[in-house]
Amino acid sequence: MKMSSITTVVLGAFCFLTSLDWWSPAAIAAAESPLASLDLSRPGDLSMLSGEWRYHDVDLRATTFPAADAEGQPYGLPQPTWDIEPHAGSADYDDKDWLVLDPQTLSARRGHGRLSFNWYRLHLTIPKRVGTVETADTSVSLSIRLDDYAEIWVDGELARPFAAGGASVVAGWNALNQVLLSRRAHAGQQIQVAIFGMNGPISDTPSNYIFVREARVEFMPTLPSPAGVQPQEVNVQVLRADPGIDAIIPRNPKLFKVAEGFQFTEGPVWRRADQSLLFSDPNANRIYRYSDTDGLSVFKEHSGYDGADIAEYGQPGSNGLTFDPKGRLIINEHGRHRVTRMELDGRLTVLAAAYQGKRLNSPNDLVVKSDGAVYFTDPPFGLPKFFDDPRKELQWSGVYRAKDGRVTLLTKDFRGPNGIVFSPDEKYLYVDNWDPKYKVIKRYRVAPNGSIDRGSVFVDLTDRIPGDEALDGMKVDVAGNLYVSAPGGIWIFDASGKHLGTIGAPHPVHNFAWGGADGRTLYLAARSTLYRIPLNIEGVRR
């Protein structure tokens, strides 16, 4: 999927990111002297980052929440409790009306004293250099000491490694919190930092206020990137639009980060043979493998292209991945304009490369029917200039079926056909559209010979989701519910098209796959990050 890449970081408290190799970025940073350091209380240093501090007090408000049931889960009767306002940790939170702070006033006392909370938010842009230090490929961290406590959000993410402090969880009274802002920085990278401050001790409300004692951005030698991390809980938002969502998403859902530092994650698929996840990074031209046992590794280099003009491509690598009924990996190769099958001995067999003598655009997503037929979408998003690329030979963006050496055009309804999936009984084929002007999912009836009818609009989100983002990967569960990657997260619809709910992750989710031993874990390919969330229902894994 073509996307702009803007990183947003929200400040709270620093998250020690520990990889499966037990490397701690914070520990590595502490062992090295910074290549460069900027004091965020100095206007000159802050201006080098095009930075701006913004501030807002936090209020307590009365609310209710379900009491714990016999198993300790929130399924009991509503009971009175408290919440905060505003919740300003998300990456896209609108802080334009907040107070703009002079960085030299960070030490000014703020908040209301006693039981008191506040937010600081900071927008940064990585410069080309700091002094004589080139910032490209450096690792960037934030060190901040808040009086008295802090929690730090990074790119809308509040990580909660078990029994760990100092990351994006409270480190301690007046402790130095550190957070990794970027494993591999690049000039122009935008980072939105936000800090949640707390006056403490909370059990003995003090007669003082909240202020920033110190804040620095440090540029360090490059950390391993991408990297697996010790699975750690992060924040998740669930919109429960209909009671039917309770059969799918637990009342106390848990989202875990398992790997990070990718250019753009896509096309995940679960490999049952060794209980691992394969997924693409089309920007890096690579397929990765992840498992809890082995961590993260490279499964295939040059996954989609190795031509001499590869530098012209934004996404030359593979995109969609799936398995056929015999357990062979099927790969959509952007740069080579084809669909291939990896045989059990590693050889590649070309399943589709052209239609009526004209080369395919850039096969994007795919699904395999139980009879072995491969259905795939073919927008031009893998081409350097997309719709206007001179390499484009087909004048439309099609949905195709490949079987027994024959490629059949099924429909060219969409400008940007993207996600594709069958209903569990294979009576229907769903296809969605990456087009900001027409954000729809169509459902087609599948004939016994594998062809499809003219279809109809199943869901239209054009007016419900404003902006330039559109629809991406899709999956179904065994009950026939449809899951769609769209702005705001993973939208879930029942078989009639009713919106049941939405799972919101810290980073935009562009594709996902069912995995785990019981098929009830959803792995989320969310731009630079790989997450997983256990659900109540089993998915259809193909």
Mark whether 266 and 154 lie in a shared domain: no
Do 203 and 346 lie in one domain? The reply is no
5 falls in which pLDDT band (50, 70, 90)? very low
Q: Is the pLDDT of residue 24 over 60?
A: no
- Contact between 53 and 100 (Cβ < 8 Å): yes
| Contacts of 52 by beta carbon, 8 Å cutoff, 6+ apart | 46, 100, 122, 123
Q: Is 9 domain-assigned?
A: no
8 Å CB contact between 167 and 72: no
CATH code: domain of residue 280: 2.120.10.30
Both 178 and 307 in one domain: the answer is no
pLDDT of residue 542: 74
Residues 429 and 479 occupy one common structural domain: yes
**Average pLDDT of 32-50?**
95
Within a domain: 539: no
For 251-270, what is the mean pLDDT?
Answer: 97
Residue 1 within any structural domain of the chain: no
Instruction: Say whether both 365 and 466 belong to one domain.
Output: yes
pLDDT of the residue at 34: 94
Domain shared by 334 and 207, yes or no: no
**Which residue segment(s) compose the domain that 245 sits in?**
236-534
Decide if 540 is inside a domain. no
Dist CA 264 CA 30 (whole Å) = 29
Shared domain check, 74 and 145: yes
Return the SS3 of 161. Answer: coil
Quick one: 242 and 152 in the same domain? no
Could you tell me if residue 16 is inside a domain? no
Strand-pair partners of 84: 60
Domain boundary at 193, 220, 247, which?
220
Over the stretch 155-201, which tens digit does the pLDDT of each residue have? 999 988 877 777 777 888 899 999 999 999 999 999 999 999 999 99
Q: How far apart are the first and last CA of the chain?
A: 20
Is residue 207 domain-shared with residue 241, that is, in the same domain?
no
Domain boundary among 220, 244, 270: 220
Whether the full predicted model's pTM is greater than 0.75, yes or no, is yes
Last residue of a domain, one of 220, 255, 290: 220
Are the beta carbons of 490 and 510 closer than 8 angstroms? no
pLDDT per position as a tens digit, 354-381: 999 999 999 999 999 999 999 999 999 9
255: in domain: yes
- How many structural domains compose the chain? 2
- The pairs formed by 351-359 with CB atoms below 8 angstroms and a separation of 24 or more are 351/402, 352/376, 352/400, 352/402, 352/407, 354/407, 355/394, 355/398, 355/400, 355/407, 355/409, 358/393, 358/394, 359/391, 359/393, 359/394
Dump the DSSP string for 76-99: S-EEEEEEEE----STT---TTSE
Q: For residue range 119-139, list pLDDT tens digits in order.
A: 999 999 999 999 999 999 999
Tell me whether residue 210 is in a domain: yes
The answer to whether residue 17 scores a pLDDT higher than 60 is no
405 and 503 in a single domain? The answer is yes
Confidence class for position 445, pLDDT limits 50, 70, 90: very high
Contacts 24+ apart (CB under 8 A), 159-163: 159/15, 159/17, 159/232, 159/233, 159/234, 159/257, 160/232, 160/233, 160/234, 161/15, 161/16, 161/17, 161/18, 161/230, 161/232, 161/233, 162/232, 162/233
pLDDT for 295 equals 96
| Same domain for 347 and 307 | yes
Q: Tell me, yes or no, whether 162 and 269 share the same domain.
A: no
172, part of any domain: yes
Mean of pLDDT values over 147-154 = 94
Q: What does the pLDDT look like over 209-235, one tens digit per residue?
A: 999 999 999 999 999 999 999 999 999
